[in-house]
Amino acid sequence: MDTYTVSVHALSHDGRGIARLQDNRVVFIPHALPGQSVTVALTKEHPQYAEASIVRIEAEEGLREPLCAEALRCGGCPLQRLPRSEQLYWKERLVKDTLIKISHISAETIRPIRADSKESGFRNKMEFAFGHKNGEKGVLLGLREEGSRLVHGAEGCVLLPPYANAIRKDAEEFFSASDLAAYDEGGILRHLVVRYGIGAKGLEWWLVCLTGAAQVGDRRKVQRVGEKLLAAHPEIAGFVHEERRKKDALAIGEKRLRTLCRDEGQTATLTLPLGGLNFYLDATSFFQVHLAAANLLVDAALDELPNFETLLDCYCGVGAPGLILAKKGQGKTVHGFESHARSVRYAKINAERFGIDALYTECRLEKETIGYAGDPKKTLVLLDPPRSGLAPKTVASLTTLKPANILYLSCNPATLARDILRLADAFTLNSVVPVDLFPHSAHIECLARFCVKQA
């Protein structure tokens, strides 16, 4: 096996270290960080670049001990050994390099990165995967290794509050005793989502068990595990069993099978605060997992907030942050668009609770035109698309409508850069604010503001 010793000088968009081989090809190295000299073995070769794995670390400078015992196996925190200031430096640089290279914008358009100082215990939700124990009976409930379906333990994970690990540990024990097997081993157990909301007595925990197609007997076994967890942990408000038949790794249910709630008459509703408002959401609804950092994103949106009368909230979820922006000014109207039926229902509930005039439509924006007949000069569009960015149909809707302003929340600098180019004929990019919602990972959010070009 040929090996090469290289110096890591940068980071890629997915957190891999970047170095150069003697033939000047770029090489991407998982778990390698700037400041390290490493000996690597090539795993894949391409004409212009290569991929490699670390054989050994020869030297390193400026790194720290990981906060988490799982950091070197789990793919969730590739930057954990970098001091926080270095993490923020590389994330800000990633945004600048990507946007300037692809969309050719001015560096002055990109504002300084915003970040919360907390490094552990900041997540309110974690998706644990079911796996099998090597040589032992029962299931393992933990995290997937980077680039693999292999599940390893999550005892040392520091991203959730410590109590979450006590719940995870008991869930692993109870599911192991149920004789149910992990999905990858031909069983039905896929994921257990552990999250919390804010209740009258403090944190209220919710569990969502995601399985494959489950027969009546298996459904009863899952129910019994849920009942045991509710009995063992008074802090758990409810347990939801959902089914997903698609053969993928997503922790998103397609059908709800059962809901167990501690209090009679309770539904699978939890409450999370953002921007000074308490939002109701379903136990499976999307919401930001790092609330302190999400509030920084809201602050950035409020700092960039232009005058408007109508807000078109695209990919609105349960209404946040569109309702926050509408609440900022009196008499604002919201038209929201969302593909998830439960989220639409909760968005309507939240708008009514906050006293905001709102109309929400269940639709898939990648397939449908944004329906709106108001005055575009008095309209603000809020976009919060998935990592794939805006669908061509959405871009076409925007360039036809020509709203006065657009606020675009992006979780992928590369697709944001592409969409900046797509919108360039009709809109001018005013600013981009990077916000770090996911410490220790390579993920970075951006808030971009566009203004319509005058005819």
314 neighbors 384 (Cβ within 8 angstroms): yes
Per DSSP, the three-state class of 390 is coil
CATH of 125-271, one of 3.40.50.970, 2.40.50.1070, 3.40.50.300, 3.20.20.10: 2.40.50.1070
- The C-alpha angle 76, 284, 439, rounded to 5 degrees, equals 25
Per-residue confidence (pLDDT) for residue 38, from 0 to 100:
96
Which is it for the CA torsion 82, 83, 84, 90, positive or negative? negative
Query: In CATH, what number does 100-116+288-452 get?
Result: 3.40.50.150
**Does residue 329 surpass a pLDDT of 90?**
no
Least confident window among 6-10, 149-153, 237-241: 149-153
Q: Map tokens 């991407």 to a residue.
A: 28
At 151-183, the pLDDT tens digits run: 888 887 889 888 999 999 999 999 999 999 999
- Percentage above 90 pLDDT, the chain: 80
| More confident position, 148 or 213 | 213
Gyration radius (Cα) of the chain, Å = 23
Q: Do domains 3-63 and 125-271 have the same CATH topology?
A: yes
C-alpha 341/C-alpha 82 separation (Å) is: 41
For residue 444, give the nearest of 409, 419, 420, 407 by alpha carbon: 409
27 neighbors 50 (Cβ within 8 angstroms): yes
**Does residue 117 surpass a pLDDT of 80?**
yes
**Does residue 402 surpass a pLDDT of 70?**
yes
Strands (E) in 99-235, as ranges, are 114-115, 125-132, 139-144, 151-152, 189-199, 202-211
At 431-441, the pLDDT tens digits run: 999 999 999 99
On the 0-12 / 13-18 / 19+ scale of CB atoms within 10 A, 367 is exposed
401 vs 85, 280, 333, 405, 426, CA distance in Å? 42, 32, 17, 11, 10
**Does residue 57 surpass a pLDDT of 90?**
yes
For residue 176, give the nearest of 144, 140, 210 by alpha carbon: 140
* 247-281 per-residue burial string, b: 16 or more CB within 10 A, e: under 16: eeeebbbeebeebbbeeeeeebbbebebbebebbb
C-alpha 71/C-alpha 81 separation (Å) is: 8
Averaged pLDDT, 414-424: 97
343 vs 110, 287, 382, 387, CA distance in Å? 32, 10, 17, 19
At 267-277, the pLDDT tens digits run: 999 999 999 99
Write out the CATH class of domain 3-63: mainly beta
Domain ranges within the chain, ordered by starting residue: 3-63, 100-116+288-452, 125-271
Supply the mean pLDDT for the chain: 93
Per DSSP, the three-state class of 293 is helix
Per-residue confidence (pLDDT) for residue 281, from 0 to 100:
97
Per-residue confidence (pLDDT) for residue 71, from 0 to 100:
76
| More confident position, 288 or 76 | 288
407 vs 64, 326, 420, CA distance in Å? 37, 13, 12
Averaged pLDDT, 324-345: 91
Averaged pLDDT, 327-336: 85
C-alpha 409/C-alpha 436 separation (Å) is: 12
Per-residue confidence (pLDDT) for residue 180, from 0 to 100:
94
Residue 330: pLDDT band (50, 70, 90) is low
Summarize the chain as % helix, strand, coil (round to 5). 25, 35, 40
**Does residue 220 surpass a pLDDT of 90?**
yes
Averaged pLDDT, 191-198: 96
Averaged pLDDT, 382-397: 95
**Does residue 72 surpass a pLDDT of 80?**
no
Residue 134: pLDDT band (50, 70, 90) is confident
- pTM exceeds 0.85: yes
